Amino acid sequence: MEFTRRRFLSAASTVAVGAAGAVTMSGCGSDKKPAAASRSDAKDPELKLTVAARSPWMANQVALTRANTLFLGLPRFPGHETTPSVARRESDGSVAAFPGNTWNQWKAGDDGRNAFVYVNSVHIFADDTVWCVDQGGLRADSAPKELSTPKPGAQKIVQFDPRSGEALQVLRFGDDILPPGAQMNDLRIHGTTMYVTDSGLGALIVHDLSTGKTTRRLSGYKEMLGVTAPAPATAAPGKTQSKHKTPKSDMIELTRDGKWLYWAAPTGPFYRVATDVLRDTSVSDAQLATHVQHVADIPLSGGCAMDTLGNLYLSDIDNKRIVLMPPSGRKTVLAANTGLVSPDGSFLSAERRLYVPAPQTERTQLFGNPKDLTEKPFLIYSLPLPGEFDGVQLGNAVTGQS
């Protein structure tokens, strides 16, 4: 692994980690079990989604600093290859390439070592720096092998200063961590430990930001694989998904205390494992698999977020809605909007607003459409979280610190 490090701005947290708990989501990171509010049996009315930002480029990821500076992840999706890959909303409301230099200028044939090739995730934690996951190659289900196979060093994780755009560190891993076919998808951090999903082969990657030690876990295990996905309901009626290949382990969340790691393929189900067992290299993968717990089956989901009380917010693709799944496992519809087309990587801000991008990926030719049917601008929706909804107490943003 190559480890370029200038500084890491996050304050490390030391956490006392307990043993594996019950199969339910109860106790997942909160100081106490969320209590149901006193209410009637009638379901609360769904919350209203409003447009928070508009992007001239397809946007499938969103993240905000504590000061509400908004960043977007812009995938080089088939038909949308001309993109800066990452953008920032400026003070005048415009959306501009970030950091605004050679990082945004990759073109076919470049080595992609110090430029964005295919950014699949953008996230912000307690230190307010911007983390970008670059898969280093175009989609294997739509691009020729010479463009879909990452060149050496092209698949990487980059941390940026949100103001200056300075690259603070670049993480690159060897073939022992990223064998051929591996694709880093998304990441979460607690203290100095980073967890990454591999959606290409299906695996979890654990990286210690202090020591540089990295391990690859559960590679190819059934818990890391998705089930065969039907075509999204609005994509090319009567057709299959065409060439679209459903990702394996994709969505990832960490509880507030860092004790439980959750993950799922878009098709589900959600699983979780205690992070102390996951980090213990004396535990074999076969042994680790016995500690993995099935949490819940889910609707076809493009992304998710988790709050400090362990509630999951799922981006329901087929029904254009946000589904709230509390620790009890009972699902309820939080919000819906016909403009929420292919909802993807959501983000809960410090001000307790839930942001959800609508990249319209199901309208592309990759999903069997005769031509690209996406419409500009690409919208990012948001809603403020109330204190409780449908009898469920709602928490704050999980920042990677207890």
Residue 314 scores a pLDDT above 60: yes
Residue 20 maps to a domain: no
Q: Please tell me the least confidently modeled range out of 76-90, 98-112, 218-232.
A: 218-232
Number of domains into which the chain is organized: 1
Q: Is residue 231 scored above 60 in pLDDT?
A: no
Residue 382 has pLDDT above 90, yes or no: yes
Q: What DSSP string runs through 162-219?
A: TTT--EEEEEE--TTTS-TT--EEEEEEETTEEEEEETTTTEEEEEETTT--EEEEST
377 cis-preceded (ω within 30 degrees of 0):
yes
Mean pLDDT of 166-193: 98
> At residue 334, does pLDDT exceed 90?
yes
Do the domain assignments include residue 313?
yes
Query: Domain of 57: which CATH number?
Result: 2.120.10.30
User: Could you tell me the pTM of the whole model?
Assistant: 0.88
Among 112, 179, 122, residue whose Cα is nearest residue 143 = 112
Mean pLDDT, range 370-374, rounded to an integer: 96
- The pLDDT value recorded for residue 233 is 54
Domain annotation covers residue 18: no
Domain assignment of residue 257, given as a range:
2-9+28-393
Asked whether residue 48 is domain-assigned, the answer is yes
pLDDT score at 211 = 98
Residue range 37-55: mean pLDDT, rounded: 80
In tens, the pLDDT along 76-100 reads 999 999 999 999 999 999 999 999 9
Half-sphere exposure of 95 (CA within 13 A, CB side): 23
On the question of pLDDT at 10 being above 80, the answer is no
**Tokens for 370?**
């005769």
Do the bridges between strand 95-97 and strand 119-124 make them parallel or antiparallel, or are there none, so unpaired? unpaired
Confidence band, pLDDT 50/70/90 cuts, at residue 309:
very high
